Structure 1
Amino acid sequence: MKLKAYAKINLSLRVFDKRQDGYHDLESVMQSVSLCDYITLTLKDSGIEVVCNDPKVPLGKDNIAYRAAEAFLKAVSSKQKAPQQSSGQAVSGCRIHIEKNIPMAAGLAGGSADAAVVLWGLNAEFRMPNDELMKVASGVGSDVPFCLTGGTCLVKGRGEIVEKQEPWPKTY
C-alpha cells in the first residue's frame, strides 16, 4: 500500500519543567501540512526492511519507521501466536520504502510522520484498538501520536496527549 506521511508545524509551543523521564512537559498547537513523504508498505513473512531514496536517511534499527514496525508487530504478537492480517495470513515482517520529501532535522516531524504512517498501515491489516495503537505510537516517539492523528491538535505532556481541534482559519 502507498501512503502519504504529512509533515507538521507548531503553531504555538510552550515548554514547561523537565520531567522525571528527562523530557519536558509541553503544550503545543500542531498542524499537519501538505508537504509529505510517500511510504510504500509491503507485508512479508518475516523481518523488517527499510529502503529510501535519500542516502542520508538511516536504515535498520536506527530508522524510526523501522522501530515503529518493530514495536507494532511485537505488540500484536504478544496478543496472538503469529500476527495475522485481515485475510488470515500469518505475517511477522514488512518492507518500508520511503520516498523522502520532508527535509531532515527541520522540525517538521518527517521521521515521526513516516513512523505514524507505518503504524497506520500495519493497523489497517491487523486492527489493533486505537488506545493500544496510541500507546505504541507514544513509545516510538513524542511526535508520532500527533502524526497518527493529524489535522489541528492541542498536544500536551511529552506529546502523548493529543486533543483534536477545529482547524484554524486560513490566513493567506
Structure 2
Amino acid sequence: MVNINDRISAKVLKAFAKVNLYLQVCALKGNYHELVTLFQTISLYDELLMEPSLFPGIRFYSEPAIPWGPGNSLYHVCEDFERETHQRLSLRLTLKKRIPFGGGLGGGSADAAVLLRALGKMFEVPFRVIYKIACKVGSDVPFLLVGGTAVGLGRGEKLIFPGDLPA
C-alpha cells in the first residue's frame, strides 16, 4: 500500500461543468432511461483543494456547506476508489462551489470526476479501473473524466468523441 502523503502536495483542481447540447430520452431500461446526448464542457467550474492529511480517512469542507455522506458524489468516489484499489486515503478536501445546484450542469459529477482523475494519476491506477468507478458514481462522471465534446449513449457512459466519428 502506498502512503498518499508521499505522493501529493496540496493541489487545486478545477471541475468543469457541462451542458447537454442535445438530449433524447429513450426507453426505460432497469432503473434508468437510455439516452442519446451531446455533451460539451464549459468554462464554469468548481474548485476542489486536495491536501494530504496526517489522519486516516477524509476530512471534507465546503462552501456553501454540503453534507459528507452517501448523498455526496465525492464521498462515493472515495469509498469506491478505496474498495477497487485497496488503497486507504488520508485527505483533506475543500470544495468551493460555483456550479449551481440542480441546473443540469453536472456540478457534483464534475467534482467527482476531477477527484477520481487526480487519485488515478497519483496511484497510477489504470484508466479502465477509473472508468469503472466513474460509471458507478454517476451517469455524467465518465464523460467529465475526459471532457471536451462527445456523444453519450446508454446512461451516458458509452462515449463517442468527434475524432471517433466517421468523416
Pick the TM interval, shorter chain: 0.7 to 0.9
The question of 1:51 aligning with 2:48 is answered: no
Equivalent position to 1:129, from 126, 131, 142? 126
Q: Which moved more, 1:59-68 or 1:29-38?
A: 59-68
Assess if the C-alpha contact under 8 Å between 2:150 and 2:161 holds in 1: yes
Q: Secondary structure at the match of 1:120?
A: helix
Unpaired runs of 5+ residues, structure 2, are: 1-10
Q: CA deviation at 1:60?
A: 3.0
Q: CA deviation at 1:70?
A: 1.5
Q: Secondary structure at the match of 1:15?
A: strand
1:170 counterpart residue number: none
Equivalent position to 1:66, from 75, 93, 96? 75
Q: Which amino acid aligns with 1:153?
A: A
1:169 counterpart residue number: none
1:8 counterpart residue number: 18
Q: CA deviation at 1:124?
A: 1.6
Q: Which moved more, 1:115-124 or 1:44-53?
A: 44-53
Q: Map of 1:1-172 to 2, 5 A cutoff?
A: 1-20=11-30, 22-44=31-53, 45-55=55-65, 57-77=66-86, 83=87, 91-165=88-162
Q: Secondary structure at the match of 1:113?
A: helix
- Post-superposition Cα deviations, 1:103-152, rounded to whole Å, max 9, x if no partner, equal 00110000000000110111121111111111100000111101111000
CA RMSD of aligned residues (A): 1.4
- Post-superposition Cα deviations, 1:9-47, rounded to whole Å, max 9, x if no partner, equal 001011110002x10110100000000000111233521
TM-score by structure 1 length?
0.83
Assess if the C-alpha contact under 8 Å between 2:99 and 2:105 holds in 1: yes
Unpaired runs of 5+ residues, structure 1, are: 78-82, 84-90, 167-172
Q: Secondary structure at the match of 1:32?
A: strand
In the alignment, the residues of structure 2 paired with residue 71 and residue 43 of structure 1 have an alpha-carbon distance, to the nearest angstrom, of 19
Q: How many residues align?
A: 152
In the alignment, the residues of structure 2 paired with residue 43 and residue 138 of structure 1 have an alpha-carbon distance, to the nearest angstrom, of 26
Q: Which moved more, 1:141-150 or 1:41-50?
A: 41-50
In the alignment, the residues of structure 2 paired with residue 101 and residue 11 of structure 1 have an alpha-carbon distance, to the nearest angstrom, of 21
